[in-house]
Copies of this chain bind each other. A is one copy, B any other.
Amino acid sequence: MSLRFGMLGLLCYQDMSGYELKKTFDTSLQFMWNTKTSQIYRELQRMEEQNHVTSSVEVQDKKFDRKVYSITNRGRDAFHEWVNKFPKNLIAPIRDEFIIRVFFGEQIEANNLTFEIQRFKKQQEEELETILFIEKEAEKSAVEERLEDSLFYWLLTIKRAKKGIIAEIDWANEALELIKNKGREEQ
């Protein structure tokens, strides 16, 4: 259900098509909820069936028609209820196939693990750059669209994402060091 409410939350800011919703997801909720475009479209259909949103087709000359979705009062109520009612367990379920492989590390060929942890570290560093970019964008759009009240909360979530990534990079450095020393001892 969280996908639905993430979408409803974004539709509170403004009306959007499925495509725009996906793009907005990618520059805001991306680091708290992953989703594929196909899932967005399917969910929009269901949301329309359940009157959480309405759609209107906007005819554009030469281009595709845009199907633009608006949140309904019913949708707003449902969102408001959801956002105020937190689940019992606040720790997010984890599904991380990288670290499972590390767990079974004695079955990984010697240099392969080092190589993959280095790659992991690089990807986390890139992710940090992405977050920094998103932070700037958030600040810009808060001013442009008069969403200064929202910005405070956006920045809270960005701060958390940053800390998480820094912890990953920190771990990767320590892990690489430990593996190097282990190799040395075993000579």
Contact = CB atoms under 8 A, between A and B. Distances in A.
Interface of A: 2, 5-6, 9, 12, 28-29, 31-34, 79-80, 82-84, 86-87, 89-109, 112, 116, 119-120, 123-124, 127, 149-150, 152-154, 156-157, 159-160, 163-164, 166-168, 170-171, 174-175, 178, 182
A143 to B, nearest CB: 16
Nearest to A121: B90
Nearest to A113: B153
A127 to B, nearest CB: 6
A127 B146 CA distance: 39
Contacts of A89: 123
A108 B157 CA distance: 15
21 contacts: A2-B95, A28-B103, A32-B95, A33-B96, A34-B95, A80-B107, A83-B101, A84-B108, A87-B97, A90-B116, A90-B119, A91-B124, A102-B156, A102-B157, A103-B156, A104-B150, A105-B153, A152-B178, A163-B167, A164-B167, A166-B167
A168 to B, nearest CB: 8
Interface of A is mostly: helix
A69 to B, nearest CB: 18
